[in-house]
Amino acid sequence: MRTVLDVVGVCFLAAVLLVVAFACRRRWLSRDGGTFDCSLQLAEKDHGRGWALGLARYVGDDLQWFRVFSLAWWPKLVVNRRQLQGVTTRRPVGNEPLVTYAGHVIVDAELRDRTVHFAMTEEALTGVLAWMESAPPSSQTYH
């Protein structure tokens, strides 16, 4: 019986330490501001599949995206604003409302080589659009 209690105690302690590690990581990523909750569709699948909860932050000309449930200190995706060629929005369809944060809109960002799908609040979208437009004139390209 004592061994079972020891195993349960170690598992509980590991779970608590993991939660603390996630909280510390999020705090560290948010330290300079410019962060917002943002889901990302990691794989091109049917609506509602392939999404991961995350956190995005602005760092200069880059938008960095991090998974929420990861201990990695580096971003999973980095999008430079010069890569962005167009942004369209839509409401979540299918299972998307179940796998993204409540109240988020889907943002389809056209990059030079592919399309990336984000889910964020309307306020965060306004910030992303302002960030895109605030690039220095010499770095903006018009087609």
What is the mean predicted confidence (pLDDT) over 116-122?
Answer: 92
Tokens at residue 16, please? 């608590």
- Position 113 scores a pLDDT of 82
The DSSP bridge partners found for residue 39 are: 119
64-111 confidence digits (pLDDT tens): 999 888 878 889 999 998 888 888 999 988 888 888 888 899 999 888
Pairing mode, if any, of strands 86-90 and 105-110? antiparallel
- Position 15 scores a pLDDT of 84
Whether the model clears a pTM of 0.85, i.e. scores above it, the answer is no
- Position 131 scores a pLDDT of 87
- Position 143 scores a pLDDT of 41
Phi, psi of 56 (to 5 degrees): -115, 150
15-61 confidence digits (pLDDT tens): 888 777 777 677 777 777 788 989 999 877 666 678 888 899 998 89
The four Cα atoms 57, 63, 68, 69 give a dihedral, to 10 degrees, of: -140
